[in-house]
Amino acid sequence: MENKEYDVVIVGSGIAGSIVAKMLTQAGKQVLLLDAGLEAGMAFDEEGAYKNYQDYMKSYFMAQAKVPNAPYPNVKDAQSPNVLDMTQINGKPDTKGYFVQEGKLPFASDYARAAGGTTLHWLGTCLRMLPNDFKMHSKYGQAVDWPIDYEYLKPYYEMAEREIGVSCDVSEQKYPNMGNNFFGKDYVFPMLKIPQSYIDKSFIEGMEGLKVSLNGDVYTPWCTSTPQGRNSTPNKKYRYANTAWNAAKQKLELQPFAKESDEYVPVGAIWDPYSGQRCEGNASCVPICPVQAKYNALKTLKSAKKEHLTLLSQAVATEIHIDTGNGNITGVSYKQYPHADSKDYKSGTAKGKIYVLAANAIENAKILLASGACKTSGQVGCNLMDHTVLLTWGLMKDKVFPFRGPGSTTNIPTFRDGDFRKKHAAWISPIDNWGWGWPTGSPDTDLDHAVSTLNLFGKELRTYIGDTLSRQLLLHFECEQLPLKTNRVTIDDKYRDNIGNYRPVIKYDVDDYSLKAFKAAKSVSDQIFAGMGVQDFTNYPSDEPDYVDGFVFRGAGHVVGTHCMGTTKQNSVVNSQQQAWDHQNLYLVGAGNMATLGTSNPTLTLAALSFAAAENILKALK
Amino acid sequence: MEKTTAGLDAFLAISVPLTGYTRVALLATGMAQLYLDALHRIIGSAMTDEYLALTDRILKDTGGKEPALDRAIRQQLLASLQYGPITRNIIQLWYWGSWLQLPPDWVAKYGKGIKGNDNHFITPEAYQQGLIWNAMGSHPQGSKQPGFGSWSIAPMVS
Ligand SMILES: Cc1cc2nc3c(=O)[nH]c(=O)nc-3n(C[C@H](O)[C@H](O)[C@H](O)COP(=O)(O)OP(=O)(O)OC[C@H]3O[C@@H](n4cnc5c(N)ncnc54)[C@H](O)[C@@H]3O)c2cc1C
Ligand code: SF4
């Protein structure tokens, strides 16, 4: 290992790192991929993969709080943040969890440091960004424009949709200002849409004809089925077999099926291709899909070309080394721990022609800061963004039977774009299928209330549960956050982990642009609830971690920014090629590159960008 | 052994009115013995036996008939400082699969030195067998998956 020089060294086996590894190895390049997670998580043989996943399942079943990271081991040598650690910050830094939270508000999202990364517990919503999301400055006078636009990303979105296996009905997708060629003529997704839930149908019916006022304008909000990275019925009209490098054209391309009779085959579990060929309605996608009908990055990594891929697990990248002469990266140091929670480790340096950091936005920033890399712009770690999620909840008039199916199958896209973005954030509103689980901890909190406070038992208790829990409705208002220099990840010698690596030190807050959106969104929610006869139970207690100005928001798990893409080496960390301005042979991938957030969950976009990055790397390796 | 079986009958018998589910439905969860074992393990056999003797008496005295049974359960079990928390925990075990920590006051008065009184699912299966899911027309999240597209129609609620 020590002496070998690879074509490319990749740090991180999440979706970003796995896509790059797959594309490069399939194009014949020699790749070393380091991951901080446990060896067991990297098992790809049937038995090992199955056994490890069943251990995750067992931890999930036994966990009292079934939060996103509940199934996955929290190794002291490569800790993951946990939403349970997030509390209000009162004056001094909160150091209880993995993050050191300096405030004012706690950053409320987590990620998983395990093979496969955060897609192990993502929900799988796969929306493209809108054309105007790339032009926030020229369109709305806010933040910045990207150095690339929607048209540039479009072919890569198609590659990402194939890789993830997105189920969606194109004809139903209607977004504000999407233009008339958003998907391209005749484009279809690999699989037909995931059936919308019973709740969705009641909701859509209930909202029909409703007009909503926002800032003096009147809107007729509409619903659309949500594109999702989980398996459904293959679409016979879908014609692409895979994505491959075309050396002659120096491009990545979607390859058509060889034969007319070929069809898309859903990718099943990594231990058994026949498991998870369809979403079976386990309703636990976050934190874990028992059958792997939902996409996770292990599927991509498994399909990388084995002969060209060397995997190194339990290896935590700590620093990259810079040639002071030409700025090139000469190696990545890592610490490899022998077993979970071990205090000792073996040090090593990985060497390649090109280096790719894919450890996710916060960890990428940490590695760059620890190495004194990418210093010109002064922007490393800055512009940390997340969707701030305002939740509203109530009881529907009729039973809608939540806690079934994927987490969300329908959304209200009406407020994803519009002139109001000059004043406040845009948002998307997924309709949640899992009752009040997120805001109130339902269903067990409702059970406890019924038994301990309402003093119910027996048939009365059973009826009460049947009558109330089955009417729970939850709406999200996932508001975009602007890139702010002051929302940032830093490092500090005072705060190190079990093996002496830096912990992320986070400063985070929301500005007026978000606060105004909370107000506007709540007003829209009030109008919808009133219009549909929903009994409102929303409340925002002042002792919640992210309580601000009468509202409580939650993190969406969308960790974005920190090494944004831009037009000059002064205003950004990477260029439009996702190459570090300061280091020719360093590429950063993941949501860290996103210059603004828009209203789509970031993974489809970061996956599309990862295909583009892989193409750029292949060109550079020529 | 004999004693446990006898205990199991009594435990099931009182669990029927406490949960609102039939004896067969409770047996079908496969959890009865494990929950009874949990009582023995956490509050001790002496108190478990005492408790089941009391519930047995309640069922006999009322002939298992309403409204007498309801009143007796409320007055003698739920309103009791000692047996109320245990009864609520039995209900929650059946519905959710998790033992809930008995409050410090209760421990100080009735359960000095008891062990294992922290919040915990009895086994991974306990979570999967919770009755709450059935009561609301659903299935445990992550288990007993009802199949592709099932969520788009109303469930059959038994
Ligand atoms: C609860 C939740 C729900 C979500 N739902 C959605 C959704 O519906 N749609 C959507 O688009 N997005 C969703 N997301 C976001 C999505 O999960 C992430 O955007 C995505 O997984 C990020 O991929 P990544 O490859 O960049 O990083 P990650 O998946 O975080 O992968 C990073 C990898 O790097 C490794 N690593 C980290 N540090 C080091 C180091 N120092 N050395 C070596 N290896 C390292 C980790 O072990 C990991 O394997 C959700 C997130 C959460 C938390
Ligand atoms: S609903 Fe179930 S089967 Fe479908 S993706 Fe979610 S966890 Fe997997």
d(C-alpha A389, C-alpha A558), whole Å = 11
| Contact call for residues A389 and A474 (beta carbons, < 8 A) | no
pLDDT of residue B156: 81
Of all ligands present, the nearest one to the C-alpha of A279 is 2
Among B136, B145, B149, beta carbon nearest to A282:
B145
**pLDDT digits 0-9 by tens, B102-118:** 999 999 999 998 999 99
* Residues in B touching A455 (Cβ below 8 Å): 74, 78
Contact status of B155 with chain A (Cβ, < 8 Å): yes
The alpha-carbon radius of gyration of chain A (Å, integer) is: 23
Contact status of B95 with chain A (Cβ, < 8 Å): yes
**What is the 8-class DSSP label of residue A94?**
B
Please give all residues whose beta carbon lies within 6 A of any atom in ligand 1, as ranges. Answer: A 11-17, 34-37, 68, 109-111, 113-115, 117-119, 121-125, 286, 316-317, 358-360, 363, 367, 557-558, 590-591, 601-604, 606
Contact status of B76 with chain A (Cβ, < 8 Å): no
Per DSSP bridges, beta strands A505-508 and A100-104 are parallel
Among A64, A448, A461, beta carbon nearest to B20:
A461
**What is the 8-class DSSP label of residue A303?**
T
| Contact call for residues B35 and B93 (beta carbons, < 8 A) | yes
* Residues in A touching B23 (Cβ below 8 Å): none
**pLDDT digits 0-9 by tens, B123-154:** 999 999 999 999 999 999 999 999 999 999 99
Of all ligands present, the nearest one to the C-alpha of A589 is 1
d(C-alpha A83, C-alpha A612), whole Å = 32
Instruction: Choose among A580, A605, A618: nearest CA to A21.
Output: A618
β-sheet bridge partners, residue A10: A33, A356
The alpha-carbon radius of gyration of chain B (Å, integer) is: 17
| Contact call for residues B14 and B32 (beta carbons, < 8 A) | no
- Measured CA to CA in angstroms, residue A2 lies from A34, A291, A332, A346, A350 at distances of 13, 38, 11, 12, 6
Six token digits for residue A105: 């508000």
Q: Looking at this protein, which amino acid is placed at residue B14? A: I
d(C-alpha A157, C-alpha A233), whole Å = 21
pLDDT of residue B1: 39
Interaxial angle between packed helices A458-468 and B2-19, expressed in degrees from 0 to 180 and rounded to the nearest 10: 50
Report residue B120: phi and psi, to 5°: -160, 145
Residues with Cβ within 8 Å of A549's Cβ and at least 6 positions away in sequence, in order, are A515, A518
Six token digits for residue A137: 């400055």
Among A279, A434, A451, beta carbon nearest to B92:
A451
Res. A482 pLDDT band, cuts 50 70 90: very high
pLDDT of residue A622: 84
Closest-CA distance, A52 to chain B, in angstroms, reads 16
Given a cut of 60, whether residue A31 has pLDDT beyond it is: yes
Vertex B57: Cα angle to B56 and B59 (nearest 5)? 65
pLDDT of residue B2: 42
Given a cut of 50, whether residue A419 has pLDDT beyond it is: yes
pLDDT of residue B5: 61
Q: Find out whether the beta carbon of A279 lies less than 6 Å from any atom of ligand 2.
A: yes
Closest-CA distance, A280 to chain B, in angstroms, reads 4
- Measured CA to CA in angstroms, residue A454 lies from A298, A461, A473, B61 at distances of 46, 9, 22, 26
d(C-alpha A553, C-alpha A438), whole Å = 11
DSSP B27-64: HHTT-HHHHHHHHHHHH-HHHHHHHHHHHHHHHHHHTT
Contact status of B22 with chain A (Cβ, < 8 Å): no
Q: How far is CA A392 from the centre of its chain?
A: 22
Contact B154 A399 (CB under 8 A): yes
**What is the 8-class DSSP label of residue A119?**
G
* Residues in B touching A281 (Cβ below 8 Å): 145-151
Contact B143 A61 (CB under 8 A): yes
Burial B8-28 (b: 16+ CB within 10 A, else e): bebbbbbbbbbbbbeeeebee
| Contact call for residues A74 and A80 (beta carbons, < 8 A) | yes
DSSP B70-87: HHHIIIIIIT-TTHHHHH
Measured in Å, residue A120 CA sits from the centre of ligand 2 at: 12
* Strand stretches in A116-239, DSSP E: 212-214, 217-219, 224-225
d(C-alpha A592, C-alpha A600), whole Å = 15
In this structure, which residue's CA is closest to atom 2 in ligand 2? A282
Contact B91 A60 (CB under 8 A): no
Q: Find out whether the beta carbon of A195 lies less than 6 Å from any atom of ligand 2.
A: no
Residues with Cβ within 8 Å of A530's Cβ and at least 6 positions away in sequence, in order, are none
Closest-CA distance, A468 to chain B, in angstroms, reads 8
Instruction: Choose among A112, A115, A40: nearest CA to A70.
Output: A112
Contact B151 A284 (CB under 8 A): no
Of all ligands present, the nearest one to the C-alpha of A83 is 1
Closest-CA distance, B1 to chain A, in angstroms, reads 29
3-state secondary structure of A606: helix
d(C-alpha A383, C-alpha A14), whole Å = 21
3-state DSSP percent of chain B in helix, strand and coil, to 5: 65, 5, 35
Contact status of B151 with chain A (Cβ, < 8 Å): yes
Average pLDDT (A361-374) is 98
Interaxial angle between packed helices A198-207 and A512-532, expressed in degrees from 0 to 180 and rounded to the nearest 10: 90
Given a cut of 80, whether residue A2 has pLDDT beyond it is: no
Rounded to the nearest integer, the mean pLDDT of chain B is 95
Average pLDDT (A341-354) is 98
Given a cut of 70, whether residue A145 has pLDDT beyond it is: yes
Instruction: Tell me which residues of chain A, numbers 50 to 89, contact chain B at a CB-CB cutoff of 8 Å.
Output: 57-58, 60-62, 64, 66
Six token digits for residue B96: 């959710």
* Residues in A touching B157 (Cβ below 8 Å): 466
Six token digits for residue A598: 């828009």
| Contact call for residues B123 and B38 (beta carbons, < 8 A) | no
Closest-CA distance, B70 to chain A, in angstroms, reads 9
Average pLDDT (A143-149) is 98
* Residues in B touching A201 (Cβ below 8 Å): 152
Q: Find out whether the beta carbon of A293 lies less than 6 Å from any atom of ligand 2.
A: yes
pLDDT of residue A395: 98
Given a cut of 50, whether residue A351 has pLDDT beyond it is: yes
Q: Find out whether the beta carbon of A121 lies less than 6 Å from any atom of ligand 2.
A: no
Interaxial angle between packed helices B32-43 and B83-96, expressed in degrees from 0 to 180 and rounded to the nearest 10: 140
**Pairs of residues, one from chain A and one from chain B, whose beta carbons lie less than 8 Å apart:** 150
Contact status of A97 with chain B (Cβ, < 8 Å): no
Of all ligands present, the nearest one to the C-alpha of B143 is 2
Largest CA-CA distance found in chain A, in angstroms, rounded? 78
pLDDT of residue B3: 46
Given a cut of 60, whether residue A433 has pLDDT beyond it is: yes
Contact status of B12 with chain A (Cβ, < 8 Å): no
Given a cut of 90, whether residue B157 has pLDDT beyond it is: no
Q: Looking at this protein, which amino acid is placed at residue A347? A: S
d(C-alpha A8, C-alpha A361), whole Å = 20
Contact status of B34 with chain A (Cβ, < 8 Å): no
Rounded to the nearest integer, the mean pLDDT of chain A is 97
Largest CA-CA distance found in chain B, in angstroms, rounded? 52
Q: Which pTM does this prediction carry? A: 0.97
Closest-CA distance, B107 to chain A, in angstroms, reads 18
Average pLDDT (A358-382) is 98
Instruction: Choose among A53, A5, A609: nearest CA to A358.
Output: A609
